[in-house]
Structure 1
Amino acid sequence: MDKIELEILGLSSSQSSSGSFALVLGETVGNRRLPIIIGMFEAQAIAIEIEKIVPNRPMTHDLFKSFAKSFNYTIEEIIISDLKEGVFFAKIVCSDGSHTEEIDARPSDAIAIGLRFGVSIFTYERVLSEAGIVLTDEEGEKEGQAEPAEAENISSNKPFKEQLKDLSSDRLQTLLDEALKNEDYEKAAHIRDEMNRRN
């Protein structure tokens, strides 16, 4: 399976649920984005390493690095390996020099560890084609205005993910374009998941 290299493009706090963050990955060659919703502690662990902040005491991911180095293990790469029912899966590929192991992990933990070892992040084409969001400038202008009933639904008291179920595919595409234009990747991820659920 061909691997596609990803880079971290951003980390933004969730506007729809407190304690959640959108980690935005992008292919190094291409314009597809892969937003992944992660927890606050994992976001903090990633941000600390990106900003090269040294905490007073080692965090969990720092402990993992110390433990691995003590036993002569190194991390070779991180792979966002699968997407099942809206949940991403990852593998930490590590080696002791003579044999290689793949360890199952949440993408947020895998990336936090991968950053500490300075390794590349990859995914597979099937994951990126299913969950990736393509950035385009034109699509937002093409779509027409939402029907009044749908416009009312999106501002109701239901949670955002529930509101999406009541909207047409065309309206979802319009909302997706708007979310991408505003760089609201967390909202874009929820819309993408609803669109994928219907396919």
Structure 2
Amino acid sequence: MNKIKVHISTITESIEDEKDFTVVLQNTEYVIGIRVRKQQAVLLYGAISKRADLMLPHTLINKILEPLNYRVTEIVIDNLFEGTYNSLVYYSNGKNIYSVDSAVNDALIISAINSAPIYIVDTLLHQYGTKIKN
């Protein structure tokens, strides 16, 4: 599995459904949209803008892991099943590395809170992303 680093470019309201938003991930070569519900988009915006009042549910994870000296090291969007992207959140204490399955919207919020890098497997990005023209 090869993974490619991406970043959150923007969050925009979906044209197809007013209850959905699209999180746009990109790097220098590709762009890909991840659909999330409005509530998750608001929480993600709160995490990106560091608004503590909007990211309470996801900061709980840090409060549990900090005393154990674990931190989030990265998230990897690794699968698409029935139209839903799935991901892994990686945690490490410097000696051990663990991964936890996560809904992609939760993983993106956790990444934003922890300033952890976001990766997507190359097969997903190449198949579902759009190549940016030079």
Please report the TM-score for the alignment, with normalisation by the length of structure 1: 0.62
Partner SS state of residue 111, structure 2:
helix
In structure 1, the partner of 2:123 is 126
Q: Is contact 1:65–1:116 with CA below 8 Å preserved after alignment?
A: no
Map of 1:74-153 to 2, 5 A cutoff?
Answer: 74-136=71-133
Query: Which residue of 2 is the match for residue 25 of structure 1?
Result: 25
Asked if 2 retains the 8 angstrom alpha-carbon contact of 1:24 and 1:33, the reply is: yes
AA in 2 matched with 1:65: N
Check the 8 A contact 2:76/2:89 in 1, yes or no. yes
What secondary structure does 2:80 align onto? strand
Superposed displacement of residue 136, structure 1: 4.1
Deviations, residues 66-118 of structure 1 (Å, cap 9, x unaligned):
22213221111010111223221100011123211110001110010011111
Report the aligned-residue RMSD: 1.8
Identify which of structures 1 and 2 has the higher relative contact order when contacts are C-alpha pairs closer than 8 Å and 6+ apart.
Answer: 2
Q: Tell whether the 8 Å contact from 2:74 to 2:119 is kept in structure 1 after alignment.
A: yes
**Secondary structure of residue in 2 paired with 1:130:** helix
Q: Aligned with 1:15: secondary structure?
A: coil
1: CA distance between counterparts of 2:51 and 2:92? 27
Distance 1:63 1:35 in 2: 27
Asked if the contact 1:89/1:105 (under 8 Å) is kept, the reply is yes
- Contact 2:47 2:55 survives alignment (8 Å): no
When Rg is computed on C-alpha atoms for both structures, the one with the higher figure is: 1
Structure 1: which 5+ runs fail to align? 138-199
Q: Distance in 2 between matches of 1:47 and 1:124?
A: 24
TM-score norm. by structure 2 comes to: 0.90
Identical-residue share of aligned pairs (%): 23
- Where do 4+ consecutive residues of structure 1 move more than 2 Å? 134-137
Alpha-carbon offset, residue 62 of structure 1: 1.2
Alpha-carbon distance, 1:34 to partner: 1.1
The structure in which a higher percent of residues are strand is 2
Partner letter of residue 86 of structure 2?
A: F
User: What is residue 7 of structure 2 aligned with on the other side?
Assistant: 7
Conservation of the 8 A alpha-carbon contact between 1:49 and 1:115: yes
Contact 2:13 2:21 in 1 (8 A): yes
Going from structure 1 to structure 2, the CA distance change for 1:20 and 1:58 (only over 3 Å counts) comes to closer
